[in-house]
Structure 1
Amino acid sequence: MNSAWKRLTKSRKKSKQSPQYMNSEINLTQKEISQQLDINLKNIKEALGNSGDLSVREFKMGKPTLHKVALLYINGLSDKQIIGNFIIERLMGNVNNTESVDPKSPGQLFTYIKENILTVATVKDETDLNKLLLSLLSGQTILLIDGWNQALSCSAEGGELRSITEPMTEPAVRGPKDSFTESLITNTAMVRRRIKSPNLWIETMKLGKITQTDAAILYVKGIVNDKLLKEVKERLDKMEADEITGSNTIEEWINDDTWTPWPTILTTERPDVVAGNLMEGRVAIFVDGTPIPLILPAVWSQFFQTAEDYYLRWNIASFLRILRVGAFLITLLGPSLFIAFLSYHPELIPTPLLINLMSQRQGVPFPVFIEALLMEITFEVLREAGVRMPRPIGQAVSIVGALVLGEAAVAAGIVSSAMVIVVAGTAIASFTIPHHTMLDAVRLLRFVMMIFAASFGLYGVGLCVIMLVAHTCSVRSFGIPYLVPFAPLILTDWKDTIIRYPKPFLSTRPRLINQKKIKRTGDPHNLGPSSRENQQKDNKSKRDSNET
């Protein structure tokens, strides 16, 4: 385990709150369900602060003695159609059809309703009032009977949810067009459709001592590393947050190094990306209310891969990956190298180009570093404005603002036209980085490189690069080196990093991530003449059967 994670867990243990504050249960005077219906309704209403979204439907059942029955659900969290068709209609339709039930025994009425009337998918007995409230706040419908100290929790979750749409941040031309939503059940089902195996295990839990947010851990049994799975569960158990509002909160709690700028956990909105990583032995964490799950462990090369790489030919996909890595280097080093060459090493620039650059800077009143800093900050402000404003207005603001400000700044002599070209080229190169978490890290590190370049020239750039590489080598993602398979060097795992081999040659899983089932396909080099003939015969017989 990383030392930073150990220090963080020690500090969390020291800062534990009082038991009353850390208690996740709602403070109730009556912990168990009472036999009196009025007391149960009073306790539930008081615990929820007499909330207006709590709906209570009371009626009577049994003949000739009528027993009071109450149905409770939360408006907006439960499906009223399910409640009306499969619960209320069934109960009200059987008001006069319970002659077989002893009217003096609410327990028999409770059993009769559970076994013969309710037709919902899941019905569960509850005796604890805190668990009953948690089920109610999770969207389930509660049935209480006067004179009986048990309740029925019926599955009727629903409400307004966003439908499945196309991915917004990870589009693909040839790949699937579906993306995750805010519903945990929908998201896990989308992964289940792609991995139709009983070895796909889904463990659910509740995170957040107050919010009690539903979460799920997905992994493929027999492929996942047991040590990795144990480590993930331990870190989730040690979380002491009161509120879990999304997967980003979990990411900051369980990552190895809090202070590194590099993202150590992969995020995605595509089900096919999650399925592919699960088949490599990784673990996925889904959080209810968040369409972005977490995939761990994550290594550096993953942030330059896209889902479309596996739907294109291997040579095109490899070219695009190399292009992204080159754009990453341009984004990181472009402005700093321009500052270093122009300020400290002009002799390395060809003379005609140097004359043009110096002539452009005749009326510029600022040094090269200040000029680059002003342009970079201006572009970041325009980028942020384009993201935060409404989409039609944001695009116009970012495009028009960049054109108008750039031309006006050059005409006013505040910046040179070469600096505008460098900053614009750096910005365009940054857009090729597919994952925004890596893009944000490069945007931050670019300013650090510019400071070193303005202070020491190319020596400062080289020193900063050395320190950055050394730091990157020390980063771990759940115990896995961040630069694997480059450092440590594992040549067999280079098949799916910067260059993607054809799929028949991707016969092994990453060795440091998966240590149980390395082999996943046959070796194409072992296809001898007899094997090829048998394979051709099988293909021919399949074609003949299809034609028939």
Structure 2
Amino acid sequence: MEWFKETFHQSIDITFHELTANETRCGIVFVQSMVDQQLFDEQVLKYIVSPDFASSRHELIHKVLDLQSVSTMCTSILTDMQEAAENILDGKVIVFFEGDNRMIAFPLTSFEKRTGSETSNENVIRGPREAFLEDIHTNVTMVRRRIKSPHLKMEQLLIGKYTKTKVIISYLEGICRDDLIAEVKQRITRIKIDGVLASSYIEECIDDRPLSPFPQSQKTERPDVAAAALLEGRVVIFVDGDPIPLIAPVNFYMFLQAAEDYYQRYFLTSFIRMLRYGWLIVTLTFPSFYIAITTFHPEMIPTSLLLSVAASRENVPFPSIVEAFLMEIAFEGLREAGIRTPKAVGQAIGILGAIIIGQAAVQAGIVSAIMVIIVSITGIASFVIPGYDLGFTVRLLRFPLMILAGTFGIFGLMIGTILIYIHVVSLRSFGMPYLSPTAPLRTSDLKDTFIRVPWWLMKARPSFTGSNDDMRSNIQKSIIEDDED
């Protein structure tokens, strides 16, 4: 007991309790706010203090060590003091007896936690609305409910010198590649850090190219998305205290897919996906293209439109690139303000701010009306991208493209686009090419990339992930023919 008191001195939330049972001194240590004390009294303490529980010191110790036989708990026996201290901080109750070096850890963890809620960033019209929570055991249970297979494996690691954060690596044995599992474990175990408070800590340490602006692992708050990734042969990494696990490996096209794509008819999904790719090009290049043609290539603009553009810019004192930068920065500021303020106020800031600032800027002659239209279209297009990380990357890359377009015209825009493409082609996510299945080309994987074919045509798993078990379905399309009278 003295060792525990010295280790946890100046810790008011640690409870130390000493008692005597059958002339045997007993010590109990636990974190008061993390333990269900009523359950401890009912399933542990009442047996220890009961005079009928044991008739001798030896029998008392033996029966307490074997308490799991008369209760629903799965206890563990410890002999290392440091390990016992870590169990206490994990929410377990440690019981020990004088003259015996063995300690019993009772898993009676109970603390306040957030109840289930709907997803906030991956909303759907049709499909489940359940979202992950901060408790890691609740999260893995959500996935286990969807994949009822003994092949679903959950391996736990403790990361962080002081936080000892639980990190669970989840995968489907027999589907996920063995080398991928080993690589994920190796990268995570190499992390030497004081503490891990969120999955983003893990993400920055395991990315292949941490300096790249492009996301190399997917984040989700939806259990169905995590389960679908496991069925494709990917790995899902859960971090205790964070409701957003990581999915790896990934490719570029996964960030343009939404959970609802698999809850709608395939032709609707295919149409929406094509729209997303179109709007992706718009949000990345539209302001740069406008700057290039108005600054260097006005002959490319039809005469009537050129006159309209010239009239709207007549009283604007800035060149197109400065005008575009002012509006883009203002729009990004409004977007950030809308996110950081309370939800009810944030929506009003975004809508009213854009209208008022845009109208005032045009009337003051700071920007032209057509620039307000272009920035508005660009902003709307950025909201079409389902993946927040990719959307942020596109917003970031828009600014260097605008500089190149304002300096070299269309040629600069082309150079910037080619450089981005070269960088993306060079990326890999845990050994998987970032642009797979288009580079290198795998035609069998294109069935769920730019479009989505019906389920009865998607018989094989992605070739880069689920190579251990290629087939995922053998659905035969039913054809019903009406008899003609």
Using the size of structure 2 for normalisation, the TM-score is 0.96
**Candidates 38, 41, 53, aligned match of 2:13:** 53
Counterpart check, 1:129 vs 2:81: yes
Q: Residue 223 of structure 2: which of 271, 275, 281 is its match?
A: 271
Query: In 2, distance between residues paired with 1:127 and 1:148?
Result: 10
Displacement of 1:399: 1.8
Q: How far apart are residue 57 of structure 1 and its match?
A: 2.6
- 1:82 Cα deviation after fit: 2.3
1:89-122 deviation per Cα after TM superposition (whole angstroms, max 9, x unaligned): 3434x2x114x4323x4xx322112324862421
Secondary structure of 1:84's partner? helix
- CA contact under 8 A between 1:45 and 1:51: conserved in structure 2? no
Partner of 2:232: 280
Local SS of the residue matching 1:322: helix
Matched residue, 1:97: 52
1:42 matched residue in structure 2: 2
Q: Which residue of 2 aligns with 1:470?
A: 422
Contact 1:68 1:145 in 2 (8 A): yes
- Structure 2 Cα separation of the partners of residues 449 and 116 of structure 1: 68
CA distance in 2, matches of 1:85, 1:382: 56
Find the counterpart in structure 1 of residue 42 from structure 2.
85
Aligned-pair CA distance for 1:511? 0.7
**Which residue pairs with 1:192 in the alignment?**
144
Q: Distance in 1 between matches of 2:329 and 2:87?
A: 49
* 1:357-368 matches, cutoff 5 A: 357-368=309-320
Letter in structure 2 aligned against 1:87: V
Map 1:518-537; keep pairs closer than 5 Å.
Answer: 518-522=470-474, 524=476
The secondary structure found in structure 2 opposite 1:224 is coil
Answering whether residue 378 of structure 2 is matched by residue 421 of structure 1, we say no
Matches of residues 99-498 of structure 1 in structure 2 within 5 Å? 100-103=54-57, 105=58, 108-116=59-67, 119-498=71-450
**Superposition deviation, residue 524 in structure 1:** 4.0
Q: Deviations over 1:507-538 (max 9, x none)?
A: 0011122221111112648x8x9xx99xxxxx
Give the aligned partner of residue 11 of structure 1: none
Asked whether the equivalents of residues 162 and 181 of structure 1 are also in contact (C-alpha less than 8 Å), the reply is: yes
Render the CA deviation track for 1:455-513: whole Å, top value 9, x for unaligned: 11110111111111111110000011000011001111000111000001110011122
CA shift for structure 1 position 276: 0.5
CA distance in 1, matches of 2:464, 2:453: 19
Is the 2:15–2:31 contact (alpha carbons within 8 Å) kept by the matching residues of 1? yes
Unaligned runs of 5+ in 2: none
**Partner amino acid, structure 2, of 1:54:** I
Distance in 2 between residues matched to 1:402 and 1:112, nearest whole Å:
71
The amino acid that maps onto 2:129 is K
Q: CA deviation at 1:83?
A: 2.1
Counterpart CA distance in 2 for 1:519 and 1:120 is 41
TM superposition score normalised by structure 1: 0.85
Deviation of residue 261 (structure 1)? 1.0
C-alpha distance in structure 1 between counterparts of 2:263 and 2:257, whole Å: 12
Q: CA deviation at 1:350?
A: 0.9
The 2-side partners of 1:192 and 1:116 are apart by 29
Letter in 2 for 1:74: V
CA deviation string 1:100-157 (max 9, x = no partner) = 4323x4xx32211232486242111111011001100011111122222111100011
Query: 1:333 is aligned with what amino acid?
Result: T
Displaced runs of 4+ in structure 1, greater than 6 A?
none
Identity %, equivalent residues: 40
Which ranges of structure 1 fall in alignment gaps of 5 or more residues?
1-40, 534-548
Task: Give the direction of change, closer, same or farther, for the CA distance of 1:116–1:462 in structure 2 (3 Å limit).
Answer: closer
- Quote the RMSD (CA, aligned, Å): 1.6
Alignment partner of 1:143: what SS? strand
The alignment of Structure 1 onto Structure 2 pairs a total of residues equal to: 480
Match of 2:26 in 1: 69
Cα shift at 1:72: 1.6
For residue 85 of structure 1, report the CA deviation from its aligned partner.
2.7
